Amino acid sequence: MLLTDFIIFVLSLWVGFEVISKVPATLHTPLMSAANSIHGIVLAGAMVIAATAHNVVGYILAFVAVAFAAMNVVGGYVVTGRMLKMFRRRATPPAVTAAAGTAGAARPAAAVPSPNGKATA
Amino acid sequence: MSGTFNTVIQLVYVAAASCFILGLHLMNNPATARRGNQISAVGMIAAVAATAALIIHLGVISVTGWIVIAAGVLVGGGLGLYTARTVKMTAMPQLVSIFNAVGGGAAALVAIRDYMTLGGSVAASTSVPTLLDVIIGSVTFSGSIIAAGKLQGLITSAPVSFPGARIVNLLLIAVAVGVGGYVIAAPSLIQLGVVIAAALIFGVSMVMPIGGADMPVVISLLNAFTGTAVAMAGFVINNTALIIAGALVGASGGILTKLMADAMNRSIPNIMLGGFGSGDAIVAAAGVAGAGVQSIAADDAAIQLAYASKVIIVPGYGLAAAQAQHEVAALADLLESRGVDVSYAIHPVAGRMPGHMNVLLAEANVPYPLLKEMDDINPEFARTDVALVIGANDVTNPAARRPGTAISGMPILDVDHAKSIIVIKRSMGHGYAGIDNELYTDPKTAMFFADAKKGLAELTAAVKTLVA
């Protein structure tokens, strides 16, 4: 059991290194915040210890653990979403009609083909 | 039946882990990053729902247990939601630190509670991860709180140390590990308490001597610690989702720590031992402050900017500290409307956490394609008419290219390659490394002595008066 868990741990580390080394520096703050929300999975662990608690000390520890983890997970996802919402190609409100600058052409957007020109600010 | 149920739960955990990985993968482009965060959140909801189902299935939870969970989720979730909605973007590093603290704290509590339940009568395969979880989680908890306090200005951001601090730190580690080993051999709650206390104190004494400018490294490192603690908690309660998620975060924090340390030209042990910027081993570089410096007025600087064809803005932490990101965006917009090609050169350690400056500029509506990373923008300085440096110091100092200075070997932005340079700065004061910036005495450089916010507003006003 421990060996299986350890293998999963090591392989996950490698997957993490692979995936994360491709994230551009522009997004490092949201990345860290996203990673933060992911470690909020400790909420699952906190719930398990609440399930096995049967005395006051156990309940207190479980309450603090659940509250910590819930703060971590809810706050993490909300603030990451809030930050990512601010990253725009162009500030003009209808995002679809916004044209990318010359620099933008280097990084093509997923959906909209961007004509090469300047948006009026 | 029970076997089938467990299989389903495990499959949900694997699906959740896949969502986390996919979510992180989609972060490789600002255009897909939001979707990545949503996919990751869906995985999280699935994992938590599966855990709730598992608890119901086990049937051991009491009514009080459910009330504890509900109350914890309400209180913690409410606090998280409130802070996440209201936090200022300049205060992001503090918030991330707090989330590290609570994540690490929760992981440590899981192990502590598990240890208390089992009374320590467990095999080494559980007690070793338990101990690692308790130690790493406790260090992260107290260390992150101190880091947040320093970032918020509640605790001095200057390095705080005393003679023999390193020995005390080493002793604390020795106590935590030594007594920890004893706990594995002969289980005892009192000894576990000693381990927790030593780890908590070590967290404080580890972060206190670290100066404000090293915060990007510290936050990344504590982030890696939290991930590792969560993975250890996964070993303790035998939960695959925790192990995978914790390992992913550990890897992410590890990579960012390395990137930040490299960008500051410092080794991680060197930062952790502290003392940088506290006066030792710093030899003043050539050049006397004030000598050969030419200053420029707003009107002349505005003319240079307005009639340039290519301008690169180099923002540093000084810009963020002055809350001038909106002013710089306004000036850039104005220049762009006159047909000037404007982009931003972002050094990896501009700000108080990795990528912080990008978020601050994104908040000021700067389109992200204009935010250029160091390696991409450096070749462009030679084709640039004006480089506008605002609140950045050491990362623009050409002295880093020569050996023998405090910043030798540090990767810098090649600002001095631009045809002309305007530096907005309040005074000739030194940067964090405490040495003169040779860029300021370069004949191509003009100093515009002003507060970043006021100076930029003056420049914008002056550009507006010029005919296109």
DSSP line for B48-97: HHHHHHHHHHHT---HHHHHHHHHHHHHHHHHHHHHHHH--GGGHHHHHH
Write the CA distances from A92 to A98, A100, B221, B350, integer angstroms: 6, 11, 38, 27
Who wins on pLDDT, B382 or B184? B382
Amino acid at residue number B176: A
**Pick from A95-104, B72-81, B137-146, B255-264: least confident:** A95-104
Mean pLDDT of the region B96-115: 94
Q: What DSSP line would sit under B183-218, residue for residue? A: HHHS--HHHHHHHHHHHHHHHHHHHTTS-GGGHHHH
**Sorting pLDDT into bands at 50, 70 and 90, what band is B353?**
confident
Nearest to A42 among B77, B242, B256 (CB): B242
Which residue(s) pair with B310 in the sheet?
B341
**Pick from B34-43, B261-270, B350-359, B375-384: least confident:** B261-270
Burial of residue B135, with CB atoms counted within 10 A of its CB: 0-12 exposed, 13-18 middle, 19 or more buried: buried
Å between A9 CA and nearest CA of chain B = 6
pLDDT tens-digit map of B414-432? 999 999 999 998 877 777 6
pLDDT tens-digit map of A41-80? 999 999 999 998 888 999 999 999 999 999 999 999 999 9
A11 domain residue, yes or no: no
A106 domain residue, yes or no: no
Judged by CB atoms closer than 8 Å, whether chains meet at A35 and B80 is answered as: no
Write the CA distances from B170 to B130, B131, B198, integer angstroms: 22, 18, 11
A42 domain residue, yes or no: yes
CATH level 3 topology of B298-464: Rossmann fold (3.40.50)
SS3 of residue B446 by DSSP? strand
- Nearest partner of B134 among B195, B186, B70, B207, judged by Cα: B195
- Contact call for residues B68 and A63 (beta carbons, < 8 A): yes
- Contact call for residues B463 and B438 (beta carbons, < 8 A): no
pLDDT tens-digit map of B195-216? 999 999 999 988 888 877 788 8
Calculate the average pLDDT of chain B. 87
Judged by CB atoms closer than 8 Å, whether chains meet at A30 and B336 is answered as: no
Å between B290 CA and nearest CA of chain A = 35
Mean pLDDT of the region B101-127: 84
Residues of B marked active site are found at 394
Contacts for B319 with CB less than 8 Å, ≥ 6 apart: B325, B328, B357, B360, B390, B391, B392, B452
Consecutive H or E run containing B457? helix B452-464
Domain ranges, residue A51 = 28-86
A99 domain residue, yes or no: no
Establish how many alpha carbons lie within 13 A of residue B432's alpha carbon, considering only the half-sphere containing its beta carbon.
Answer: 25
A48 domain residue, yes or no: yes
- Nearest partner of A73 among B15, B81, B149, judged by Cα: B81
Judged by CB atoms closer than 8 Å, whether chains meet at A39 and B256 is answered as: no
**Sorting pLDDT into bands at 50, 70 and 90, what band is A92?**
low
Q: Which residues of A touch B240 (CB under 8 A)?
A: 5, 8
Q: Which residues of B touch A90 (CB under 8 A)?
A: 367
Q: Which residues of B touch A107 (CB under 8 A)?
A: 29, 31, 369
A13 domain residue, yes or no: no
φ and ψ of B420, to 5 deg:
-145, 160
Q: Can you read off the two tokens belonging to residue B179?
A: 């007594």
User: What pLDDT score does B269 carry?
Assistant: 78
User: What pLDDT score does B273 carry?
Assistant: 67
CA-nearest residue of chain A to B363?
A86
- Contact call for residues B439 and B398 (beta carbons, < 8 A): yes
User: Considering the entire predicted model, what is its pTM?
Assistant: 0.86
Write the CA distances from B278 to B265, B284, B351, B353, B403, integer angstroms: 17, 14, 20, 21, 21
Q: Which residues of A touch B30 (CB under 8 A)?
A: 24, 26-27, 84, 87
Above 50 in pLDDT, residue B281?
A: no
- Contact call for residues B278 and B214 (beta carbons, < 8 A): no
Mean pLDDT of the region B108-129: 81
- Contact call for residues B226 and B249 (beta carbons, < 8 A): yes
Name the percent of chain B lying above pLDDT 90: 56
φ and ψ of B455, to 5 deg:
-60, -45
Distance in angstroms (rounded) separating the CA atoms of residues B459 and B394: 24
Q: Which residues of A touch B379 (CB under 8 A)?
A: none
Nearest to B247 among A13, A29, A86 (CB): A13
DSSP letter (8 states) at residue B295: B
User: What pLDDT score does B211 carry?
Assistant: 77
Amino acid at residue number B211: G
Judged by CB atoms closer than 8 Å, whether chains meet at A44 and B239 is answered as: yes
Query: What is the domain count for chain A?
Result: 1
Å between A64 CA and nearest CA of chain B = 7
Nearest to A8 among B34, B85, B240 (CB): B240
Judged by CB atoms closer than 8 Å, whether chains meet at A12 and B373 is answered as: no
- Contact call for residues B397 and B437 (beta carbons, < 8 A): yes
CA-nearest residue of chain A to B127?
A2
β-pairing, B386-390 vs B310-315, is parallel
A16 domain residue, yes or no: no
Å between B159 CA and nearest CA of chain A = 24
The C-alpha angle with vertex A10 and arms to A8 and A13, in degrees rounded to 5, equals 105
Residue whose tokens read 């606090």: B79
User: What pLDDT score does B122 carry?
Assistant: 66
Distance in angstroms (rounded) separating the CA atoms of residues A72 and A82: 15
Judged by CB atoms closer than 8 Å, whether chains meet at B80 and A121 is answered as: no
**Pick from B241-255, B322-336, B398-412: least confident:** B398-412
User: What pLDDT score does A104 carry?
Assistant: 39
Q: Which residues of A touch B100 (CB under 8 A)?
A: 36
Q: Can you read off the two tokens belonging to residue B187?
A: 């289980």
Which residue(s) pair with B173 in the sheet?
none
A100 domain residue, yes or no: no
Nearest to B113 among A26, A58, A87 (CB): A58
Which residue(s) pair with A116 in the sheet?
A100
Residue to test with chain B: of A2, A4, A29, A43, most B Cβ within 10 A: A29
Q: Can you read off the two tokens belonging to residue B133?
A: 């979880």
Who wins on pLDDT, B53 or B272? B53
Å between B186 CA and nearest CA of chain A = 21
